[in-house]
Amino acid sequence: MTRPVARPETRTDTRPVTRRQKTSADLSAQIAAAIRDAIVSGELIVDARLPSEAELSAQFGVSRPTVREALKRLAAQSLIRTQRGATGGAFVNRLSYAEAYRQQITTSTLLLSMNEVDFETACEARYTMERACAPLAATRREAEHLARMHSEIARQQEPDLTDSDFCASDVAFHRALVDAAMNPVLSYQLAGAVEAMQPLMNMITFKAPYRETLIALHMRIADAMERQDANRVVACLDDLQSETMALSRKAMAQRASLPRT
């Protein structure tokens, strides 16, 4: 990882340098890739300290600003953290679930908002994934998960809750369901997906009568979870998906009938 990268024209030495695939890529990108490779390959382990910026610039044969740009790229992906001071430097970060989770939500949210994923596709994906962890969740749920579900149901019944708050509570409810599966990988993947879809969900408004329908289904889900009745949880999720899709179709039709802004 500490070899000089390919320089297009200024090469004066004759040592064999490992040219990166894209010779046209920025030096900072090449250096970032080299360090990233060293991290993912295990050459640099967690909490290992990278050479100082001055050393890196000497080793790669580039200036310090270029090295810094590379380090900032890695910092943006949470692969490293930097610390000032005498014993400071750049250290390999342990990628925590929380951090990965945050990044995944950011990426997914952007992806959905930039690619005009229609509501039905997102909704189908969300409930499909949730149904998948229902059996595990029903079996393994603990008192804490049931408590979270009930507290969210209570919140959803507050009459002067805004639409987006209702939506957020809905997300929290379903996140409790996913967490009940007691599998961190599932939580990471599914809860991230559910949360990323919140902006889409926010596009439809939840009027009072529909809220009651959803709350009733949430109650049935909580009950079934308490009785560890997986099949019933799945059936309720099916109903919830149908209701949500019907609601969205109604909202879309209403929006289409209005004059364009």
State the residues that interact with DNA by CB under 7 A.
7-9, 26-28, 50, 52-54, 61-66, 68-69, 71, 82-90
CA distance 183 to 192: 14
**253 is a site residue for a second copy (CB under 8 A):** no
CA distance 108 to 120: 16
Distances (CA, A) of 91 to 56, 62, 71, 80, 209: 13, 20, 10, 5, 54
CA distance 219 to 208: 16
Cβ 98 to DNA, closest distance in Å? Answer: 21
Number of residues that bind a second copy (CB under 8 A): 54
Give the residue from 69, 94, 59 showing the smallest Cα distance to 80: 94
Q: Which is nearer to DNA, 28 or 187 (CB)?
A: 28
Cβ 256 to a second copy, closest distance in Å? Answer: 21
Q: Which is nearer to a second copy, 73 or 148 (CB)?
A: 73
- Asked if 225 contacts 138 with a C-beta cutoff of 8 angstroms, the reply is yes
Number of neighbouring beta carbons within 10 Å of residue 201: 22
Of residues 118 through 137, those in contact with a second copy by CB under 8 A are: 121-122, 124-125, 128-129, 131-133, 136
Give the chain's count of helices (H) and strands (E).
Answer: 12, 2
**112 is a site residue for a second copy (CB under 8 A):** yes
User: Which of the choices DNA, a second copy, none does residue 87 contact, using the CB cut-off of 5 to 8 A by kind?
Assistant: DNA
DSSP secondary structure code for residue 50 in this structure: P
* Residue 21 C-alpha from the chain's centroid: 30
Cβ 56 to a second copy, closest distance in Å? Answer: 15
**91 is a site residue for a second copy (CB under 8 A):** no
Give the residue from 9, 10, 8, 30 showing the smallest Cα distance to 20: 30
* Residue 222 C-alpha from the chain's centroid: 26
Cβ 245 to a second copy, closest distance in Å? Answer: 14
Cβ 69 to a second copy, closest distance in Å? Answer: 4
The residue ranges that bind a second copy (CB under 8 A) are: 28-29, 32, 39-40, 46, 65, 68-70, 72-77, 79, 94-97, 100, 103-104, 106-115, 117, 121-122, 124-125, 128-129, 131-133, 136, 181, 183-186, 188-190, 193
